[in-house]
Every structure is written in structure tokens, then in C-alpha cells.
Structure 1
Amino acid sequence: MHTQHLLVPQLPLHARIRERWAGGIVCSSDVAFAFIVAFIWLSLYNVRFWELAAAAMWRPGLGASLFMISLFVVAWMVLALLLLVLPSRWLMRAAASALFAVAALSAYFCNEYGVIMNQDMMRNVLQTDRAEVGALLSGDMWLHLIVLGLIPSLLVWRVQLPKTSWRTRLGQRALAIVIALGLAFAGMFANSADFATLFREHKPVRYTLNPAAPVVSTIGLLADSRDRRADQPLLNPSGRVERTAAPSARPLVLFLVIGETARAANFQLGGYARETNPELSRIAGLTYFAKVTACGTSTAISVPCLFSHLPREHFKVDEAARYTNLLDSLLEAGFDVQWRDNNSGCKGVCARVGSIDYKQSNDPRYCRGSNCFDAVMLADLPEVLHHIQRDTVIVFHQKGSHGPAYSERYPKERERFKPACRSNQLQHCSQQEITNAYDNTLAYTDHVLARQIGMLLDADARLDSLLLYVSDHGESLGENGLYLHGMPYAFAPAVQKEVPMLLWASPGYLRRTQLRLDCLRESASLPVSHDFFYHTVLGAAQARSQVYDRALDLTAGCRQSGGHE
């Protein structure tokens, strides 16, 4: 007797994949889905959150243990509410899918660079450009995004939820929201003193809770921006701008150089042991200000603040576009004004003046792919200076020391300190390699500034000129586990807030204004800030307005009577 075997035809590969995908992952309810997803976020995407929370609040004992448990419960409920409040299953799935990607990216930058996802950081994200994004891309980041972002985002759509009426689902969600809120408030009430300490004394911790922090910060930022619309009338607090000196046959030229991410701690002119300013240190007529504090820890805040008449404590970046700024005042005073940008834009400061964007330049002498060195902004300067007939202000917005790809900010042949980190994944480099690469960027900035001063000196026979350089903010190079910049100002380390600033004046300018450099140097060690920039530039331009403050003009007390004070 022969047994006949029934052969079952094998399905094609694509059909088997589709069949397995259709099988899905069974979940008992919408509520269970929300709490499971929130638990995964809290457990796998919040390493930095728990590190900071433990560093701030943990101490041996039952009280601290109970607080950490209650913090877990509160955070879990908060993350679950992100999904429970959405009215439909489709929205809940879509939100969970998108938030897995957000959480993956946020967790990567929080863990690797110590980034804090507050409104200022989200403003930086929204205002970034392609070059800055490219500098952050890495194999580790893509792997992180795929494993913790893309794969979970796709699996969300494979979850099978039971077929129930919308009334049943609404009732379940309402009950779950009440329970979640109740547990959250109960946990906070039972440990109210510890929660008060965490929220008041350790505010950065809350901005690392993923994915809630980037979502809430972005919503808050957009809401503030909508409340302060740019279509409101432009306000001119300066009033009439007047010149304080008689017209001269010699044009007055001011170079305002806005550095990027240069920190004072690594400037040779300020006492740093390494030769990061070999060329500037040999230039006569230069004054270095040793104790300068920035207005913010990011370009998006510091640049508008620099050109605002308002001091840091009164400045609000979302309102800056409503007011005229320093460049508007210089225009009214009769100057030709031009903004040259090799960074991520002027942040609205140059809205009413001529500008040149060098990021898209293809000059082979200075550009490598999408990255151009700051010297690209100087290529035509000798010819420009030769043809200047009117008083002129040129602003140079440098790429400077923008990280994390420090080694891309200077030509390879100008690498002084070796070995230098050549990766944008700083965590893969030693501390010395990171410092070497960063110091190379400062040495290149030194070279660019020295060239600008040399060009002005060459034109001294027919122009009176002054150069003022200041960095927008500083940088963390791994100290205390922090990299880059953008920390909330109140909690940012000194290296992110203390910046280099220097002033150079040509012999012709010194004769014209009777500015005494010995006097200027005597006060150069006093604490100053970005607040002085607006008023110092007006003073240097021999101009005055209704908001000019002589006390904030670094040159005011050092001009003799012949300088038309």
C-alpha cells in the first residue's frame, strides 16, 4: 500500500511577507496600546532623563526611592496622555508612529551631546539649514533612527485592536485619562517637596523627557510666534539718528565680524596657553576684552540680541522682528550697509539691508562641497575697499567654530594641532583630539581676522577704518558630558556664555576720532557683555540715537574732546 503525500504549494516570498504582516500584533484595547507605547518610550528612549534625574535627586534612603518610583509613574502617565487625548485610532497610530521617530532623534542628541530640548533648542532646529543638518549626520545617528525610530514606527501600524463601538472606546479612554491624571497628581502630592525641588532647581531635566519635551517645546514656540506676528507695524525706538562729527573727505569703514561658537577659554589673547591667535597677537592697535558674556547660548538668540537696543534681561527673541535694529540705525545715519553670511542666515537682522549668502558659493579656493571656509567672504574685499566712496559698514557672519564637525571649518593645510578629531561623532574621539580640532578652528579665525585687518591697513591711505569682532556664544567640548551649545541660559556652563571680543582701529581712524588705545586697554579687563555691542558700534560710527547709552559704549570714555564726544 502506497501512501500518497499531498504537496502543498509554497507561497511566493512577497505573499508570505504580506501574510505575516497581516497577522499583526494583538492588543487588548486603545488604552493598553497607549500605555505600552508610553512604557517603551520611558524605558528605552530616556536614558539621559533618568541620568539627570538621578544625579539631581537620588540619595540612599527610602524617601529617594519612593520619589524615583513616583517620578516614573508621573512620567509614564504624561507620555500615555500624549496618545490618549487623540480622538481617533488612526490619529493615535499616526502620532505614535511619528513620535517614535522624534523620540529616537531626540534621545540620540540628548545622550550623545547633552542637548536640552527646550524652546530655544527647537528654535535652532526650525531655523537650521541644510549644511548644519549635514554636519550632524552620521552612521550612528542613522542606525539609531532606523532601530529606534523607523522600525517601531512601522510596527505601530501592525498592531491589531479589537473591534468595539466608538462609545465603548470613548468611555475606556475617558476612564484611563482620569486614572492617569489621578495617579500623576497623587504621585506629585505624595512627594511634593521633591517634585518642587526638581522643577525649580533642576529645570533642564524636564527638557530631556522624550518625546514629550520636543513636542511641548515646539508647540510653545509656535504659539508664541503666532501671538507676535511679523505683520505688526515696525517700531523704531531709536528715533532720529544723527552724526556727531562733521563730514570727512575720507570714508569711514566699519567691519563688524560676528564669530560662531568661539569660546573665550581657548583664546590665546585671553591667556590660553596654546597659540590659537598667533597672527592677531602680533598686530599693533588691537584691544582684547577679556571678560565678555554672551546674550544667549545659540545663534538664533544671540545674533538678534547683539543688534538690538535692548539689554539681555529685556530682550525677547520672538519680538525682535517688530523693532528696527542697529543696521537700520546705521542706514539712517547715512552708511552703506551690507551683510555677508557664511553661516545659517542673519536671523532677520539684515531684513532691510543688502546681503550676500556665501553658503552656495562654488569658489574652489575656499569651498569643499557644500562647506565654504570663512575666507570666502574676503575674496573681493580689496577691490571693494578700493572703490568705496561713502561711509560703509560690512557685517561678516562667520561659520567660525561651528560643531560638531570642527575639522571642516579650516583647510587641512592650516591644521596646527594634531591629531585632530575628524569625525562629527565627538563621542568617538578623545578629549585631546576634540580640543585639537576646535583650537584649529580658532587659529583659522585668527588668520581670517588678521587678513581683514591687513586689508584695512592697506587702504589706510584713503579710508579710516575699525574692526570689531565678537562671538555669538561659546561651546562645550565634553566637560561634564556636555557638547556643543544651546543649554538654557540659567544653567549653561560658563564656556557656553563667555566669548572673545576684540577691537582694532586704523591709524587714520585714531586720528579722526582721537580714540586713545591706552585708555581702552585699561578698561578691557572689566566685565562687559553683548549689551555693549549696539552702543559701541554707534559710538564708533560717530552716530547717536534716542536709545544710545554712553555708559555701554566701550569707546566713549577714551575719546578726547577732538573726537566729538
Structure 2
Amino acid sequence: MLKSSFKLSKFVLLICLMNFLFFHYPFFKYIFSNVDYTSFSGALLCFSMLILVVLANYFFFYLLFFVSKIIGKFFTILFFLINSIAVYFINSYSVIIDESMIGNILNTNFDESSSFFSFKLIIYLVCFGILPSIFIFKAKIEKITLKKFLINSGINLGLILLIVVANASNVLWIDKNSKVVGGLAMPWSYAVNTPLYYIHQAKKNQKEILLPDAKITNNEKSVVVLVIGESARSENFSLYGYSKNTNPLLSQTENVFSFNATSCATYTTAGVKCILEHENTSDLYEILPNYLNRNDVEVIWRTTNWGEPPVHIQNYKKREDLFVNCKGVGCDYDEVLLNGLKDEILNAKKNKILIVLHTSTSHGPTYSKKYPPEFEVFKPVCNSVEVANCSQNELINAYDNTIIYTDYILYNVIETLKEFPEYKSSMIYVSDHGESLGEKNLYMHGVPMSLAPKQQYEIPFIVWVSDGSKELKKNNALTQNHVFHSVLNFLSVDSPIYKEEMNIYK
């Protein structure tokens, strides 16, 4: 039987121990995997981090409950519920709840978020979130005097200070690993990084910085289709030497070139921003579609995805807009982006056209739901949202089928452009970031760049050019920023910020 009432210090200690036991396995797994705990300094660090987690949470919750039992219970229950969900994703997908991951969570649409739903998630929520919350809600807590609060708090802070001083020799390790350690500590990972995300977003989105005016240097009809991929890693494209034939159509198409490239980040919002900006920066400069639209280029944006910076053009269409007049099974997938594409070019009022297709084809965890049944070439496939429960072969098969479907979409873009011989045309395909498929026990993407495996940042950069339009440079290693300057070059847009060394065309 539970006690009818608790002293505040004992209740808060119990809450902290529950928080420690339920939600900090990934935290200490990381520390013990990256520290030589057989040495004195390593053992001291491991022990100190264990005590520090309890003490830091104790001070916070003790203060919260002293100020108000109602406020204390509200936030403690809220933290336990969120912690249970956060730890599910950490354990299932090896994510780190840092500032960039908070951005991913807050910007994820309903279709994507619903794809993560699983019975295992419900178990985590009930066992680690709801049941402890019922106990917290019903618990009776005795009042304490201000004097006792100050004494206990002083002892707590003194112990924290002592531990910090004792680990002076481990400062370099703590500094180097602070982003990951902070991203695994509950509830601090999201409690700190969420307001940081909003602060930084407010600074970024104050007002986009306009680029200098540009001018079009000729009247030749030119069109570029920029296809922004989602979670595509070059390692699984046969154009890059992959053993399985994931590019059966593009490999047989003339004037198709593939280049080694890396992304600026491992998550969508930063990756797409980098593709569309003239240089990699934390500032919000005028992005490519806005810039060209302002400088007399016809710009068309079609998307089944999300996460791009603000796009200020008239012809902006989402999945639901494209779906209206679409027919066939492909309309439920990224083929909907091709619906009416030919008419967009036919109805263009200007000689220079940029069309952006923002796809979602290879986004996990439900890779097998991202392509029509006829593209399930590699079998068996993983059909579970809990990708760690599938064999790596099943997971890779499902992912490879999304690449085959991407190959089909890109081939059809090229075939559409071939129907306009009066235009000089080019297609550029570049992914926002890569993807982990179980290597080193990592899944999907979003690991900080300083720690990310190559699978999360080595991306495909595939280019097609029409006969008689332009040739390509050798281009050994490209970045996402090459897109901006290359599109300017192909469309004959002269700008003061244009960089020839960032242009892929001769």
C-alpha cells in the first residue's frame, strides 16, 4: 500500500528516481559507450553523471513543488507523459532530442507523424507516462517551512557544485559531447531546446534579406526542373555503384550525369534551405524561387512535402491541389507531382521557367507505403513502423523500392521535358539529406552533423540536360549550394551574387 502522505523531500526524491529509472537508459548507455570507465577519471565521470542527473532534477522539482503543489503536479505529469514518448523514439530510432530534432517535430505534418504510431508507443505511454501520472496526481504532500526548503536546496546546490569541481579534468569530454548528452537527458532535452528553437526561428524569420537585383541576358526559352528529394542517400543508387539495380530507367537515359555531393544538414528544414540559398548561412536570405520570381522568371512550386523556407510565389501547389484532377493509383504517391506538369510549361507566359518538385518518396519509417505496389521489386520488405524489429535486409529492400520509384519519377520528368524541343531544358535532382538504415544501430536521420554517419549526408546529385543546351563541368564534389548558382547560369540570369565556381554547367 502507498503511504497516505509524503514529506516533500521524499516525494521529490521518489519522482527523481522514477524519472532516472524510466527515462535515462539511453543517456547512460551513451556515456558508458564513450567513456573508459575502467580508468579513475572515467569511473568518476560515470558516477558523477549518475548523481548529477538525480540532483539536478531534484532541485528543479523541489523548487516547483515548494512554489505550488498544483503547478508541481501539472508539470511533473506533463514531463512524464512527454518523456515516455521521447524515450520511445530514442530507443526505437536512435534519435537525439536536440534543437534540430525539435524543429523536425514541430514542423512534421499529420501524415508523417501518424506513420510513427505503433502499439509499442502506447505501451511506453501507458507504463511510463500515464500510470506514474496517476500516482503523482493522487499523492498527498506535506507542507514544509521556508527554512527547511532553503537548507535542503543549499545542500543540493552544494553537492552539484562539488561534482562539477571534481570533474574539472573531464571538461573537454563534457564540452565535446554536451549536445548528445543534453539531447538524451529528460526532461531537459526538450524543455531547453524547444524555447531555443523558437528563439532562433524568430531571429531567422524576422524578415528575409533581399539579394541584389538581377537581369535576364537573353530571350532563349529555357526551363529547369529542380527535384528536391527526401531522405535519399547516394549509397543506394545504382548510378553511384550500388550492386542492386535501383536506377533501371535513368541508367539507360542519355545525358544523365551523377555527381558526388553532401548535404548541409541531416534534417529537412535545414537541407531544403541550403538547396535554395546562395550560400550556407544561418541568416534567412532571399531563396531561389523568391529571387527568380522577383526578377522576371516564371516560378512553379509543387510539393507533397513540407519544411521549406517561406516561398513567395503565386503558383504554389500542395498535394491536395494537385490531387483534384489527377487519375490513377499514382495520384496517391509522388506521381501526383507530375499531374499537369506539361500544361504548366505550355501555359508559361515567360521564356525562363523554374519548376520545383518537392518530393517525399523515401521518408521513413514506413518506406513500403511510399510507392505503388508494382514498384515492390525487392522482397521481402519491412512493413512495420518499428523498423528496428525488421531485419536489415527487409528494411533495405523497402527503402530500395523507394529509390526505384524515384528513378521512375525522374525519368518521367525528363520525358516531359523532351516534349519541348524549343526549350533548352535541364533537370536537377538533389536530396535534402540522407538516411540511416540500421548501420551502427541508427535509423532515419537527424543526427547532428558532427556525429552523423556518411549515410545521412552523402546524397545524390543527378543532372540531365537536353541535346544542344549545355555541357557539364567535371564537378568532382558538389554541395547543395551549387543548385542556386547553376540554375542562375542555365536560365541566363546575371546577378552580382553569382559565383562561377559554384556553377555545374560549362
Q: Same fold (TM over 0.5)?
A: yes
What residue is the counterpart of 1:235 in the other structure?
209
Distance 2:314 2:278 in 1: 18
> 5 Å matches for 1:100-119?
100-119=80-99
Pairwise CA distance, 1:57: 0.8
CA distance in 1, matches of 2:43, 2:478: 45
Which secondary structure state, in structure 2, belongs to the residue aligned with residue 489 of structure 1? coil
Deviation for aligned residue 1:29: 2.7
Q: What is residue 28 of structure 1 aligned with on the other side? A: 6
RMSD in angstroms over aligned alpha carbons?
Answer: 2.0
Q: Is the 8 A contact 2:182 2:188 kept in 1?
A: no
Q: Which is worse superposed, 392-401 or 199-208?
A: 199-208
SS in 1 for 2:271: helix
Shift of 1:367: 6.5
* One-letter amino acid matched to 1:55: S
Shift of 1:190: 1.2
- 1:471 counterpart = 2:431: yes
Please, which moves more after superposition, 178-187 or 118-127? 178-187
- Residue number in structure 2 paired with 1:397: 358
Counterpart residue number, 1:516: 471
SS at match of 1:255: strand
Alpha carbons 1:299, 1:473 under 8 Å: kept: yes
1:418 and 2:390 equivalent? no
Change (3 A) 1:211 1:340: same
Which residue pairs with 2:304 in the alignment?
342
Q: TM-score, normalised by structure 2?
A: 0.94
The residue type paired with residue 194 of structure 1 is N
Determine if contact 1:292/1:530 at 8 Å carries over to the other structure. yes
CA displacement, residues 112-138 of structure 1 (integer Å, 9 cap, x when unaligned): 111011000001111110011011111
Given the superposition, is the C-alpha separation of residues 547 and 27 from structure 1 closer, same or farther in structure 2, using an over 3 Å criterion? farther
Alignment of 1:313-462 (within 5 A): 315-316=281-282, 319-320=283-284, 323-348=285-310, 350-358=311-319, 361=323, 363=326, 365-366=328-329, 372-390=332-350, 391-460=352-421, 462=422
Instruction: Tell me which moved more, 493-502 or 153-162.
Output: 153-162
Letter in 2 for 1:74: L
CA distance in 2 between partners of 1:383 and 1:233 (Å): 34
- Structure index of larger Rg: 1
CA distance in 1, matches of 2:148, 2:355: 64
Cα distance in 2 for residues equivalent to 1:58 and 1:353:
58
1:247 aligns with 2:219: yes
Q: Which letter maps to 1:331? A: N
Check if 1:129 corresponds to 2:109: yes
SS of equivalent to 1:324: coil
Question: In the alignment, residue 235 of structure 1 is paired with which amino acid?
Answer: I
Q: CA deviation at 1:381?
A: 1.6
1:264 aligns with 2:219: no
AA partner of residue 73 (structure 1): I
- Quote the offset at 1:405 in angstroms: 0.4
Paired with 2:185 and 2:242, the residues of 1 have a C-alpha distance of 37
Q: Residues 31 and 310 of structure 1: is their aligned pair in 2 closer, same or farther, counting only changes over 3 Å?
A: farther
- Give the structure 2 partner of residue 42 of structure 1: 20
Of residues 79, 82, 91, the one that matches 2:60 is 82
* Match of residue 549 from structure 1: 499
Partner of 2:193 in structure 1? 217
For 2:363 and 2:377, locate their aligned partners in 1 and report how far apart those are by CA, in whole Å: 18
**Residue matched to 1:277:** 247
1:142 paired residue number = 122
Percent of aligned pairs sharing the same letter: 28
Aligned to 1:17: none
SS across alignment from 2:450: helix
When the two structures are aligned, how many residues end up with a matched partner?
A: 501
1:58-87: CA deviation from partner (whole Å, max 9, x where unpaired): 332444333221111111122223323333
Q: Given the superposition, is the C-alpha separation of residues 133 and 284 from structure 1 closer, same or farther in structure 2, using an over 3 Å criterion?
A: same
Question: What corresponds to 1:19 in structure 2?
Answer: none
* 1:399-435 deviations in Å (ceiling 9; x for gaps): 1200000001101111111001111110110010000
Long gaps (5+) in structure 2: none
Name the CA distance, whole Å, in 1 between partners of 2:222 and 2:400.
33
Kindly tell me: are residues 229 and 417 of structure 1, through their superposed partners in 2, closer, same or farther at Cα, counting changes over 3 Å? closer
Moved more, 258-267 or 217-226: 217-226
Match of 1:161 in 2: 141
Return the offset for 1:255.
0.4
Q: Report the equivalent of 2:173.
A: 197
> How far apart, CA to CA, are the structure 2 residues paired with 1:377 and 1:387?
17
Say if 1:72 and 1:533 are closer, same or farther in 2 by CA, change over 3 A: same
Cα deviation, 1:187-234, whole Å, max 9, x if unaligned, reads 1221222243133256413311122111111121123334x174x454
Is the deviation greater in 377-386 or in 86-95?
377-386
1:60 aligned to which of 35, 38, 41: 38
Provide the residue aligned with 2:479 in structure 1.
529
Contact kept in structure 2, 1:536 and 1:554, CA below 8 Å:
yes
| TM-score, length basis structure 1 | 0.85
- 1:173 and 1:496 map into 2 onto residues whose CA distance is 48
2:275 equivalent among 306, 310, 318: 306
**What amino acid does structure 1 have at the position aligned with 2:466?**
S
Q: How far, CA to CA, are the matches of 2:101 and 2:289 in structure 1?
A: 26
Secondary structure of 2:504's aligned partner: coil
Any conservation in 2 of the 1:292–1:501 contact (CA below 8 Å)?
yes
CA distance in 2, matches of 1:283, 1:267: 15
Question: 2:466 maps to which residue?
Answer: 506
Q: Output the CA distance in 1 between the equivalents of 2:68 and 2:317.
A: 49
* Kept after mapping to 2: 8 A contact 1:278/1:446: yes
Quote how far apart the aligned CAs of 1:157 are.
Answer: 0.6
In the superposition, relative to structure 1, how do residues 263 and 215 fare at CA in structure 2: closer, same or farther (>3 Å)?
same
For structure 1, list consecutive stretches of 5 or more residues without a partner in the other structure. Answer: 1-22, 559-565
CA contact (8 A) 2:266 2:433 kept: yes
Task: Tell me the residue number matched to 1:12.
Answer: none
- Asked if 2 retains the 8 angstrom alpha-carbon contact of 1:409 and 1:441, the reply is yes
In 2, are the aligned partners of 1:268 and 1:275 still within 8 Å (CA)? yes
Structure 1 position 260, deviation (Å): 0.2
Matched, 1:540 2:495: no
